[in-house]
């Protein structure tokens, strides 16, 4: 993509292969502009596998980049800002993807409470419309090295998803709001995730939270070597609400306690 503004909402349906992925590349001055934050997706991977979205900007749409049933794709180095709801969302059985080194800010311009930075999976309440009533097994996705300032969670990990990695991201919680439920950088409702090396500053309540929305979910997650600066947050660094997760002692917290019990696992 050459520098310039590309007006519209774009959809990819053709797949590459593991050995020959499809590349769409540009620098930050190559801008996809969706024409308004009230509806539409800036770029939609719709059943398209093995794509490489690299380097360009997505703005001025309801949702930034959406992956529906995309596998083996990489979303890298994008700037996603001024969107109505969430910036990047993998859902509808999207597995084995990587979301890395993106810059995300000014989400939630339509509704703050839906302004997640990166969203993995689908809430159980929407399985009927998105996944035919089945758990959204958007599994084994890696979210790495992103810089996120969002109006809802920087990363929201939904029930039904398993085995992802959340690594070395940077969170700024200074704009989180819009709902009493938006009160942490990361909300983990899936199972068996590794959350390691992340850094966050400013939060309304907690740094990280786990929740058991459905029986057996929000379990088996490991928190390791995260650096947490609560900076006025009224909660704790990692709030393991129902238990069943591992909080290593190398997590570091400033301006508060690591857990409600004040101890690591």
Residue 262 has pLDDT above 90, yes or no: no
Which DSSP category does 28 fall into?
T
Show the tokens assigned to 14: 């053709």
- Residue with token string 């502009």: 33
Q: Is 215 helix (H, G, I), strand (E, B) or coil?
A: coil
For the stretch 194-245, pLDDT in tens is: 999 999 999 999 999 999 999 999 999 999 999 999 988 899 999 999 899 9
**pLDDT classification of 179: cutoffs 50, 70, 90:** confident
Residue 248 has pLDDT above 90, yes or no: yes
For the stretch 49-77, pLDDT in tens is: 999 999 999 999 999 999 999 999 999 99
The answer to whether the CB of 226 falls within 8 A of the CB of 195 is yes
What is the value of pTM for the model shown?
0.97
**pLDDT classification of 178: cutoffs 50, 70, 90:** confident
**pLDDT classification of 261: cutoffs 50, 70, 90:** confident
**pLDDT classification of 191: cutoffs 50, 70, 90:** very high
The answer to whether the CB of 117 falls within 8 A of the CB of 148 is yes
- Residue 4 CB neighbour total at 10 angstroms: 10
Which residues are within 8 A (CB) of 232 and not within 5 positions of it... i.e. 6 or more apart? 202, 203, 255
CA 132 to chain centre: 23
Residue 181 has pLDDT above 90, yes or no: no
Q: List the beta bridge partners of residue 148.
A: 104, 171
Q: Is 189 helix (H, G, I), strand (E, B) or coil?
A: coil
Which residues are within 8 A (CB) of 52 and not within 5 positions of it... i.e. 6 or more apart? 21, 22, 23, 24, 25, 73, 74, 76
The answer to whether the CB of 258 falls within 8 A of the CB of 236 is yes
């Amino acid at each position: 993509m050459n520098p310039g503004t590309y007006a519209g909402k774009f959809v990819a349906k053709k797949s590459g292969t593991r050995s020959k992925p499809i590349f769409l590349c540009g620098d930050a001055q190559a801008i996809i502009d969706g024409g308004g934050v009230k509806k539409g997706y800036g770029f939609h991977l719709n059943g398209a596998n093995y794509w490489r979205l690299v380097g360009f900007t997505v703005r001025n749409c309801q949702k930034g980049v959406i992956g529906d049933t995309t596998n083996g794709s990489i979303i890298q180095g994008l700037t996603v800002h001024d969107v109505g709801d969430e910036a990047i969302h993998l859902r509808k059985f999207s597995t084995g993807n990587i979301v890395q080194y993106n810059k995300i800010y000014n989400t939630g311009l339509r509704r703050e409470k839906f302004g997640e930075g990166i969203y993995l999976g689908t809430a159980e309440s929407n399985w009927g419309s998105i996944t035919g009533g089945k758990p959204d097994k958007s599994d084994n996705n890696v979210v790495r090295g992103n810089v996120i300032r969002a109006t809802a969670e920087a990363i929201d990990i939904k029930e039904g998803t398993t085995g992802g990695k959340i690594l070395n991201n940077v969170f700024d919680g200074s704009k989180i709001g819009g709902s009493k439920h938006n009160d942490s950088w990361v909300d983990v409702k899936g199972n068996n995730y590794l959350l390691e090396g992340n850094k966050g500053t400013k939060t309304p309540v907690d740094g990280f939270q786990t929740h058991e929305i459905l029986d057996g979910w929000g379990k088996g997650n490991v928190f390791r070597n995260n650096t947490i600066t609560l900076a006025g947050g009224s909660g704790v660094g990692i709030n393991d609400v129902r238990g069943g997760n591992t909080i290593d002692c190398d997590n570091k917290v400033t301006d508060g306690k690591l857990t409600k019990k004040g101890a690591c696992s």
